[in-house]
Amino acid sequence: MATVFKALGDPVRLRLLFLIASRPSGEVCVCELTPAFNLSQPTISHHLKLLRQAGLVDSERRGTWVYYRVRPETANRMSALLAGVSGERTPV
């Protein structure tokens, strides 16, 4: 559980997650994610791996490209968890 939050606790990974989540298609090719950062491609790959290990995203290879998508269950579970911490007094 701390693993998931730890995965979220990095600006690059947060941006990656938002980029992936913001797509109407629900998925993004790594080839689109990499140029969005001033970081080497191995670094992006590493961050994506952490997001994947945390259960926040999923990846699928199609031909030469790899596509990432959000796993809503995990995001929802964490969201509910935080809502619980806030005391159930303040409905969103």
Residues that bind its own copies (CB under 8 A): 1-3, 5-11, 14, 17-18, 21, 26, 70, 72-73, 75-76, 78-87, 89-92
List the one residue from 26, 36, 41, 81 that touches DNA (CB under 7 A): 41
The stretch near DNA (CB under 7 A) out of 16-24, 27-35, 70-78, 79-87 is 27-35
Show Cβ contacts of residue 6 under 8 Å, excluding neighbours closer than 6 positions: 54
List the structure tokens of 56.
């926040």
60 interacts with DNA by CB under 7 A? no
Using alpha carbons, select from 40, 42, 50 the residue that is nearest to residue 13. 50
Among DNA, its own copies, none, partner that 14 touches (CB below 5 to 8 angstroms by kind): its own copies
